[in-house]
Amino acid sequence: MKVYGRNVLKEILENDVSVKMVYFSNSKSRDLEKLIESVKQRNMPYTIANDKILERISNEKKHQGVVIDIGKFEYKDELIIEEITNPFIVILDQIQDPHNFGAIIRTSVATGVDAIVIPKNNSVKVTPAVVKVSVGTIFKTNIVQVTNLSRFIEKIKKLGVWVYGAAMEGKAYHKVDLKKPVALVLGNEGSGIRENVKNKCDDLISIPMKNKVESLNVSVSAGILLYEVFRKNEDINS
């Protein structure tokens, strides 16, 4: 996969992601020269080309002079959950929009989520656009792909994880315990969480509204709920 953007490369460098090739633009820029220097220091393979070539490789005009071939994106196996003590998990049930996925990854990293779980089918996947919207923070977390979400939820419940699903009919989120080990399920942009997945949740939570709107944007809902979990588990009052 060819990802792009300066902040994306910075995160790749910071998180020691293995790369096949870094392509830099031959347009002179202070910021680019610094990045080339960092790539050199780590003995990463790199090459310099003109902007048109970078555009062709990345299929993107706004590459900011940096395209990185990271090979195949490595999803983590669901077994990783068993290795985490007191996990904080986000489960996305058939989210479709790369912008939502990228923004949720960003908030997940900020709030200390240990793994983001997506189903193999009918779901947005990790694409260059997702990596870009996540501003490279995707390399700071674990993205897990599972075949069957319901079965995965059953499994983590047996590990002691309490699973909350976000749904209109749920309890107001601020009145709910939300203590770790915890998982938060968010549903599809149009139709929410599927019934069979919803039925597996321990509890449903909702975001109250003053004026009724159809729903909030799913990345906004995720932000509000993830921060509530964060506040109820971390000492951020000192």
Positions touching a copy of itself (CB under 8 A) are: 7, 99, 103, 106-107, 109-112, 133, 135, 137, 140, 172, 174-175, 207-214, 216-217, 219-224, 227, 230-231, 234, 236-237
Pick from 198, 166, 186: which is nearest to 117 by CA? 186
The Cα-based distances of 216 to 128, 167, 183, 192, 197 in angstroms read 25, 11, 20, 11, 20
CB of 71 to a copy of itself, least distance (A): 24
Q: SS3 of 115, please?
A: strand
CB of 218 to a copy of itself, least distance (A): 10
Residue with smaller CB distance to a copy of itself, 11 or 93: 11
Residue with smaller CB distance to a copy of itself, 76 or 99: 99
Q: Are strands 21-25 and 66-69 parallel, antiparallel or unpaired?
A: antiparallel
Residue with smaller CB distance to a copy of itself, 131 or 197: 131
CB of 16 to a copy of itself, least distance (A): 16
Residue with smaller CB distance to a copy of itself, 90 or 149: 90
Amino acid at residue number 27: S
CB of 226 to a copy of itself, least distance (A): 9
Cα 133 from Cα 150, distance rounded (Å): 28
Q: SS3 of 207, please?
A: coil
CB of 105 to a copy of itself, least distance (A): 9
Residue with smaller CB distance to a copy of itself, 79 or 208: 208
184's CB contacts (< 8 A; 6+ apart) are 89, 90, 91, 164, 166, 222, 225, 226, 229
